[in-house]
Amino acid sequence: MSTPFRDIDAINAEATGEWGEFGAEVAVTQEMINGFADLTGDHQWIHVDVERCERESPFGGPIAHGFLTLSLMPQLIELPVELTGAKNIVNYGSGGMQFRRPVPAGSVIHAKSRLVGAEKHLAGTLVTFESSIHVKDSRKASLTYTSQILFQG
């Protein structure tokens, strides 16, 4: 069911606290991790030195950067509510984020989300979602994130 983005009461009525289904899956490869390290300048050994990680890391191998995992959010989440009528949708901010568990190189991740609520904003409607990224087949989240998205018309 779609809801007009300006109908704040209807959006809030859909904030049931229920998590949506897991969305698309993304493989987090060592090549992806190395590319992120090159892009950001974060070449900490726990991410890029495979041999050292196999010898010394408490995780048994390299792990993805937390911010790499976060940056994959647009590929992973499916918003739990369909809002219509917006001409522009922008990332407004974060209500919080936690890196809870590592994402090992070679793992597959997916995410689920839920609607927290909506409020009127001077520039449109501010909608808050919670998302949870998991390594596939893990009940526990690797990253939790509360995002605020501004729908404008």
> May I ask the CATH architecture of the domain 2-28+64-152?
Roll (3.10)
Structure pTM? Answer: 0.91
CA–CA distance, 36 with 134 (Å, rounded to integer):
19
Q: What tokens appear for 149 in the block? A: 């998205």
Q: What tokens appear for 122 in the block? A: 């001077």
pLDDT tens-digit series, residues 78-128: 888 899 999 999 999 999 999 999 999 999 999 999 999 999 999 999 999
Q: Where are the domains of the chain?
A: 2-28+64-152
pLDDT tens-digit series, residues 8-50: 999 999 999 999 999 999 999 999 999 999 999 999 999 999 9
- The label of the residue with tokens 């449109």 reads 124
Q: What tokens appear for 128 in the block? A: 């808050």
